[in-house]
Amino acid sequence: MGAMARMSNRDRIARAAEEARAAAAEKAAKAAPKAASASAPKRKRAAPAPKREKIVWEIYGSNGATVKTFGYADKAAAEAHIVALTHATTNRYGLRGTRVPMV
């Protein structure tokens, strides 16, 4: 007969279990370096410094375009300028506070 002997069912089950254990051990060995790097503490980035802003008053026309800008303390002057523009032209103007970066 042939050189290969027939395996019993018990031997086949034992061989399959051994191969499964070997595959699991190999998989765990590959995952171990990844798990070690994943559990390493991550460095936090420094929070960016908040940008300084100031509020200015903008006079805008009916199309939303800025006509003139006034400092925050000059709100009364901005309102007076709106009245003067409205009487000089037939257009309507508005006033809005806008945040701009400080220079």
Residue 1: what pLDDT? 47
Residue type, 27: K
Q: Say if 72 falls within a structural domain.
A: yes
Give me the number of domains the chain comprises.
1
Rg (CA), the chain: 39
Residue 29: what pLDDT? 85
Q: Say if 15 falls within a structural domain.
A: no
The H or E element containing residue 70 is strand 66-71
Beta bridge partners of 101: 53
- Render the burial of 3-42: b for 16+ CB within 10 Å, e for the rest: eeeeeeeeeeeeeeeeeeeeeeeeeeeeeeeeeeeeeeee
Q: Say if 70 falls within a structural domain.
A: yes
Residues of the chain under the 70 pLDDT cut: 1-4, 32-40
Q: Say if 21 falls within a structural domain.
A: no
Q: Say if 62 falls within a structural domain.
A: yes
Instruction: Please give the residue range of the domain that contains residue 95.
Output: 53-101
Residue 98: what pLDDT? 96
Q: Say if 40 falls within a structural domain.
A: no
Say what the pTM is. Answer: 0.52
